Structure 1
Amino acid sequence: MFVVTGATGNVGSHVVKHLADAGAEVLALTRDPEAARLPEGVRAARTDELPLDGATALFLNPAVVWQVGSEKILERAKASGVRRIVMLSSSSVLSDLDPQTNPIGARHRALEDEVEATGLEWTFVRPGGFAANALQWVDQIKAGDVVYGPYAGAQMALIHEADMGAVSARALLADDLVGKAPELTGPESLSFADQVRVIGEAIGRPLRYEEITHEAARERMSGGFVTPEMADSLLRVFAELVDRPQAISPEVERITGRPGRTFAQWVEDHVAAFS
């Protein structure tokens, strides 16, 4: 049995779908099982109950781990007979920045270390920027034709959550990614300004991106999961990416056998959110 944490989230929902399509037995962990919309045959349970008995593999979403507690989840996994953990990590762990100035990478690296220390089989899926981060602009786009944000020229090869889900499911189902940590990107590098333009083309409105200061962006970004320190770390990364196209990783196509989805494809899949 495969257990998926964060099973109704952006990535977890795709992991569940791929596993179900492969005919696997899947248990989806979510905060509200009764409200979960899952593929036929997939069972749901509450995340905080951690019903891992009978599970052979676990998809680990860090956001869930940090809510429930890594020690609780990992000890329960070992005691329940889980043999393999596939963790959704981050390419930020590869940064050369000092961990003190890269809290996002440091936090993910620490969790990777905890997973390795269990002695179980592991795969760390390390995506870069999520295409879904563009949803942060929904309210601005609905309110007008200008999106305000930092570093208009910062370039990223954003990855579609469906591709992260496909790679993660492959790591759960097959053995060739055990002990590997594939870095994932989308197939093209786009600036923030280009991303807003692509969204405008999809919804039939001419949108533009207007750059704001580091301080103003830090205030906008801070809150909830994102601490002021994390906001500063992200903004430093954005500053370094201005006018520097991101290298494209071949891993999505190598692992799944199909090219990664473009940002334009992601926008088409989510166009209703911006309209």
Structure 2
Amino acid sequence: MTILITGATGNVGRPLVEQLHRAGVKVRAITRNTSAAFPPEVETVASVRDGLTGVSAVFLNSRALGPDLDWTVQAAKDAGVTKLVALSAINADDDFSRQPSRFRGDRNKEVEQLAVDSGLAWVSLRPSLFATNFIGMWAGQLQNGDVVAGPYASASSAPIVESDIAAVAAHALLSDDLIGQKVPLTGPQSFTNTELLAVVGQILGRDLQYREIPIDDVRRRFEAIGFPAEFGAAYAALLAETVDVPAVVTDDIERILGRPAQTFADWVGRYRAAFTRTLQPQP
């Protein structure tokens, strides 16, 4: 059995490659990064066009595949692949105006539908907000102070640790338990933004404050770092839907893996260096 992993150096792809390798499976990872530092037994190829021969299952990452997404599914069928596992999202059925990741290349609805319509055995994973997103959103601010400025202090999410997504993906690739399912995956608890920051503060031993700012300021901040204007609008619309409404929490990780989902506090503890002040306050 050879399993092809697209997006192999991403937040889900890398732990997935490592978990499959530990399971003794032959893994073929798609990456153009020659210094990806996978275990030596992991085969690497530069593109999906170079990697389908002899493959039995494919993990589909729509952002990594880009314009080759449709082609990849058809080529997989032609090459004799028997199973597709798609990385989608918990909000894949929402209006696209509330899916900010689309403006960074994700095609969550399309990758799921292509897998469903492929005629092959399929599983679609629908994770919630990735825990690592908080490094991008909060780490820079917390390296320089104790205040996070952001939208909607009472907006809710149930962040999931990416290695949990990878563990479910590995299970889906190696067994038939989840075939034909769209599996919603979340962290074990819903938090508001204020509560999430309190968790970070508890782990760091710091008194942190969440300062709510106008949505227009949030949009401008995203544009300043190179995101399209549509991303900021979609991000604001997504959060607005969750104000004072607890995020959905599922038990699918525990049901599938036989252990609880990792907590946000667990994740912060492992990545605390990302949030540590670069300049200590003067006495």
With normalisation by structure 1, the TM-score equals 0.91
Cα distance 1:196–1:101, how it changes in 2: closer, same or farther (>3 A)?
closer
Post-superposition shift, 1:49?
4.7
Post-superposition shift, 1:252?
0.6
Q: Which residue of 1 aligns with 2:46?
A: 46
Aligned residue pair count:
271
Q: Which residue of 1 aligns with 2:30?
A: 29
Cα distance 1:120–1:225, how it changes in 2: closer, same or farther (>3 A)?
farther
Asked if residue 123 in structure 1 is aligned to residue 137 in structure 2, the reply is no
Kept in 2, the 8 Å contact 1:87–1:123? The answer is yes
Secondary structure of the 1:267 match is helix
Q: Which residue of 1 aligns with 2:65?
A: 65
Q: Which residue of 1 aligns with 2:140?
A: 139
Cα distance 1:86–1:48, how it changes in 2: closer, same or farther (>3 A)?
closer
Secondary structure of the 1:235 match is helix
Kept in 2, the 8 Å contact 1:203–1:271? The answer is yes
Name which of structure 1's ranges 220-229 and 141-150 shifts more when overlaid on structure 2.
220-229
Q: Which residue of 1 aligns with 2:279?
A: none
Cα distance 1:162–1:213, how it changes in 2: closer, same or farther (>3 A)?
same
Paired with 2:80 and 2:143, the residues of 1 have a C-alpha distance of 49
Kept in 2, the 8 Å contact 1:36–1:44? The answer is no
Asked if residue 93 in structure 1 is aligned to residue 92 in structure 2, the reply is yes
Paired with 2:98 and 2:248, the residues of 1 have a C-alpha distance of 23
Percent identity, please.
38
Kept in 1, the 8 Å contact 2:87–2:111? The answer is no
Secondary structure of the 1:92 match is coil
1:82-138 Cα deviation digits (max 9, x unpaired): 11110110011233xx44665758942123222323222111100111111101211
Paired with 1:185 and 1:83, the residues of 2 have a C-alpha distance of 28
Post-superposition shift, 1:226?
5.2
Cα distance 1:224–1:20, how it changes in 2: closer, same or farther (>3 A)?
farther
Paired with 2:37 and 2:226, the residues of 1 have a C-alpha distance of 25
Kept in 2, the 8 Å contact 1:15–1:168? The answer is yes
Paired with 2:73 and 2:177, the residues of 1 have a C-alpha distance of 23
Asked if residue 15 in structure 1 is aligned to residue 16 in structure 2, the reply is yes
Paired with 1:167 and 1:36, the residues of 2 have a C-alpha distance of 23
Kept in 1, the 8 Å contact 2:3–2:27? The answer is yes
1:150-183 Cα deviation digits (max 9, x unpaired): 0011111110001100111100000011111110
Q: Which residue of 1 aligns with 2:280?
A: none
Name which of structure 1's ranges 118-127 and 166-175 shifts more when overlaid on structure 2.
118-127
| Structure 2 spans left out of the alignment, 5+ residues | 277-283
Cα distance 1:169–1:226, how it changes in 2: closer, same or farther (>3 A)?
farther
Paired with 2:209 and 2:187, the residues of 1 have a C-alpha distance of 22
Kept in 2, the 8 Å contact 1:146–1:209? The answer is yes
Paired with 1:88 and 1:225, the residues of 2 have a C-alpha distance of 25
Kept in 2, the 8 Å contact 1:27–1:42? The answer is yes
Q: Kindly report the root-mean-square deviation, in angstroms, between the aligned alpha carbons of the 2 structures.
A: 2.1
Q: Which residue of 1 aligns with 2:281?
A: none
Kept in 1, the 8 Å contact 2:87–2:108? The answer is no
Cα distance 1:148–1:50, how it changes in 2: closer, same or farther (>3 A)?
farther
Cα distance 1:252–1:201, how it changes in 2: closer, same or farther (>3 A)?
same
Q: Which residue of 1 aligns with 2:208?
A: 207
Secondary structure of the 1:242 match is coil
Secondary structure of the 1:182 match is strand
Q: Which residue of 2 aligns with 1:186?
A: 187
Q: Which amino acid aligns with 2:131?
A: A
Q: Which residue of 2 aligns with 1:80?
A: 79
With normalisation by structure 2, the TM-score equals 0.88
Kept in 2, the 8 Å contact 1:50–1:73? The answer is no
1:51-91 Cα deviation digits (max 9, x unpaired): 1111100111121122x521332232222221111011001
Cα distance 1:64–1:102, how it changes in 2: closer, same or farther (>3 A)?
closer
Cα distance 1:102–1:204, how it changes in 2: closer, same or farther (>3 A)?
closer
